[in-house]
Amino acid sequence: MHFDFNDEQQAIKATASEFLASRFKLEKVRELAEAETYDDGLWTEISELGWAGIFIDASYGGQGLGTMELVILLEELGYALAPCPFLSNAAAGLVIAHAGSDEQKQRWLPGIASGEERGTVGILKNGVAPLVPDADSAKLIVLVDCDSAVVVDPSEADVEPVETIDQTRRFARVVSDGGEALEAGVGPGLDRVATGISAELTGIAQHAQEMTIAYAKEREQFGRPIGAFQAVSHGCAQMLLETEGARATTYFAGYAADSEPEALSLAASTAKAYASDAGWRVTASALQLHGGIGFTWEHDLHFFLKRAKTDGHLFGTAAEHRERVAELFVREAVPA
């Protein structure tokens, strides 16, 4: 079995890494986060690269690639901590692509693929979607209730901005009693959304790990780099282990989405559970290993920690996905 990216995927990864490194330097991330806004010009550039529709079929204006290519982009976007509406728009596209009728796909996917008519997804709890990314600027909102969903025009919903610890992304609380029902169940789409968020968490963990290793090599105490001390080196090794674990489970979920869909539900929940925990533990450990400077507002590390914490709660917490993994195992062991 081949475990590496193919040439096209390698090119996508290299292009994304180079582009995001030049557009979302940490000074730019801080500027946008502190202003609590996005850069529309950068979103236009991202859309012109075709990223918004990378997984959407060409007949609906997308590039017709797969979930694995989306995973590659989201890992790089997480690494850059890019403040932009990519994840929310991709989530809407994934749900509609897998649950919408042909007519619904034709109506909504081209705008999502071009980035001009962005969407988002919210999970209803007791009739309210409490944490919907970018709902205040989306053109359509997909509200999910168990295995069904409706598409709502934001003008016909109560959309109230919500402040979270993550200043790099906008959130809102959404209430609506209307909308147009999607034709099929949303499970396959949501599994791919969970996989995408796991990829973003992997990128966040990778960047936090690299920041910490670089600091451990430079910061000296008692005439030696702090990385020479066992407690610090063991902490860095644990960060590596958790980051690679998140990457492995996420890549398998991406593979399953494209090649073994019958394994996707288990793979996606495994990835989201592991990556949610890993994203938080790696960034929290990075904060500790940076010492006093890591706790300051002036250091950029807290932006990574806050995004990781919030991502861990989006579309199911680690605990919720572990429970789903257990249920799936029981279902396979005791068939109906």
Within a domain: 195? yes
Within a domain: 174? no
- For the record, the structure tokens of 89 come out as 């728009």
- Predicted pLDDT of residue 106: 97
Total domains in the chain come to 1
Within a domain: 57? no
- Predicted pLDDT of residue 12: 97
- For the record, the structure tokens of 137 come out as 């600027």
CATH classification of the domain holding 241? 1.20.140.10
- Mean pLDDT computed over 307-321: 97
pLDDT digits 0-9 by tens, 317-336:
999 999 999 999 887 776 65
Other Cβ atoms less than 10 A from the Cβ of 75: the count is 28
pLDDT digits 0-9 by tens, 124-145:
999 999 999 999 999 999 999 9
Within a domain: 28? no
- Predicted pLDDT of residue 274: 98
Within a domain: 278? yes
- Predicted pLDDT of residue 256: 97
pLDDT for residue 227 is more than 60: yes
Within a domain: 320? yes
pLDDT digits 0-9 by tens, 186-213:
999 999 999 999 999 999 999 999 999 9
**Domain extent at residue 226:** 187-333
- Predicted pLDDT of residue 128: 96
pLDDT digits 0-9 by tens, 137-166:
999 999 999 999 999 999 999 999 999 999
Within a domain: 259? yes
pLDDT digits 0-9 by tens, 102-131:
999 999 999 999 999 999 999 999 999 999
* DSSP three-state, residue 124: coil
Buried b / exposed e over 203-237, threshold 16 CB at 10 Å, is bbbbbbbebbbebbeeeeeeeeebbeeeebeebbe
Per the DSSP assignment, residues forming a β-bridge with 132 are 172
Within a domain: 122? no
Percent over 90 (pLDDT), the chain:
88
